[in-house]
């Protein structure tokens, strides 16, 4: 059973739920043995909320995201998006992974435009949308570059633009900055927050990094493993922009580290 905690003052009014997950479980069967990767996962994500899913390696974070994206089915439970059941991949839920999955033979602009193909848009509208998103991720000057010619941070900005251009209801992010160096990672976190402020998507962001979760999240779902469960649902009421050097920031991190240590010992 998860608990709903707050770190400071009163809980804010909850936004209207867009994504609802109820009693989700996942059992993997390998060589006659069964493994409960996820057990009784329930939560709601409100419109425009940025929720981090935080937990140790192997607690089922990626499995949860794969189920939400519709790539794998749950063993039990329901997911609804705006009251409609989710059972397969769809453009209303887009995923950004750790490793960029750009098409290496397409330019930055072509990668961003790719998802718009087959949607019946005129070529002028496609060009306009591509330019809008190139500008949103500050890559106009690199529009004709191939993925191998740009940096890791730039690749992740392309990966973001090419899913945001599809206007998903929920953006699912699986440790998208984990492969980047520390400085680029911090830049990308700030960049994501700027984009989120402009576009107000609902975001579910998986991480095992406490600092990243406190930097980004409105709420943090703290998971434990064996079986993978949500142990705490924490509302982070730190003003934005969040300064990593402040006592309040450290207080939040310490609180979360203590929770994660308890999970390990338990």
Contact residues for ligand ADP, defined by CB under 6 A: 28, 30, 35, 37, 55, 57-63
95/168 Cα distance (integer angstroms): 10
- Whether 159 and 96 have beta carbons less than 8 Å apart is answered as yes
| C-beta closer to ligand ADP: residue 23 or 58 | 58
DSSP strands (E only) in the chain: 3-6, 17-30, 33-46, 50-54, 76-81, 84-85, 93-96, 170-174, 202-207, 219-224, 229-235
| C-beta closer to ligand ADP: residue 154 or 230 | 230
- Whether 236 and 83 have beta carbons less than 8 Å apart is answered as no
- Nearest-approach distance from CB 60 to ligand ADP, in angstroms: 4
For the record, the structure tokens of 112 come out as 């961003």
Residues 6+ apart with CB under 8 A from 64: 24, 38, 41, 53, 206, 228
Could you give the angle at the alpha carbon of 161 between the alpha carbons of 160 and 164, nearest 5°?
85
Q: How many CA atoms lie within 13 A of 140 on its CB side?
A: 8
- Nearest-approach distance from CB 28 to ligand ADP, in angstroms: 3
257/38 Cα distance (integer angstroms): 22
| C-beta closer to ligand ADP: residue 62 or 80 | 62
Nearest to 234 by CA among 265, 260, 266, 198: 260
| C-beta closer to ligand ADP: residue 35 or 103 | 35
- Nearest-approach distance from CB 41 to ligand ADP, in angstroms: 12
- Whether 185 and 209 have beta carbons less than 8 Å apart is answered as no
Neighbour-count burial of 40, counting CB atoms closer than 10 A to its CB (0-12 exposed, 13-18 middle, 19+ buried) = middle
């Amino acid at each position: 059973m998860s608990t709903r905690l707050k770190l400071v003052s009163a809980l804010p009014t909850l936004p209207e739920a867009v994504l609802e997950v109820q009693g989700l479980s996942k059992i993997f069967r390998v060589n006659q043995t069964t493994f409960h990767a996820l057990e009784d996962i329930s939560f709601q994500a409100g419109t425009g909320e940025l929720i981090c899913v935080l937990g140790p390696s192997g607690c089922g974070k990626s499995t949860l995201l794969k189920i939400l994206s519709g790539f794998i089915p749950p063993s039990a439970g329901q997911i609804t998006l705006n009251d409609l059941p989710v059972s397969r991949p769809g453009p209303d839920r887009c995923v950004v992974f750790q490793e960029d999955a750009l098409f290496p033979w397409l330019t930055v602009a072509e990668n961003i435009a790719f998802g718009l193909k087959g949607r019946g848009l005129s070529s002028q509208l496609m060009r306009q949308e591509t330019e809008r998103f190139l500008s949103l991720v500050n890559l106009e000057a690199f529009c004709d570059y191939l993925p191998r010619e740009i940096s890791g941070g730039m690749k992740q900005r392309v990966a973001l633009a090419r899913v945001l251009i599809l206007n998903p209801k929920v953006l699912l992010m699986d440790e998208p900055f984990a492969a980047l160096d520390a400085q680029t990672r911090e830049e990308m976190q700030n960049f994501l927050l700027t984009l989120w402020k402009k576009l107000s998507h609902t975001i579910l962001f998986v991480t095992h990094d406490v600092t990243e979760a406190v930097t980004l999240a409105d709420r943090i779902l703290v998971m434990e493993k064996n079986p993978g469960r949500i142990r705490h649902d924490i509302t982070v009421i730190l003003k934005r922009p969040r300064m990593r050097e402040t006592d309040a920031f450290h207080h939040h991190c310490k609180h979360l580290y203590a929770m994660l240590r308890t999970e390990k010992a338990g």
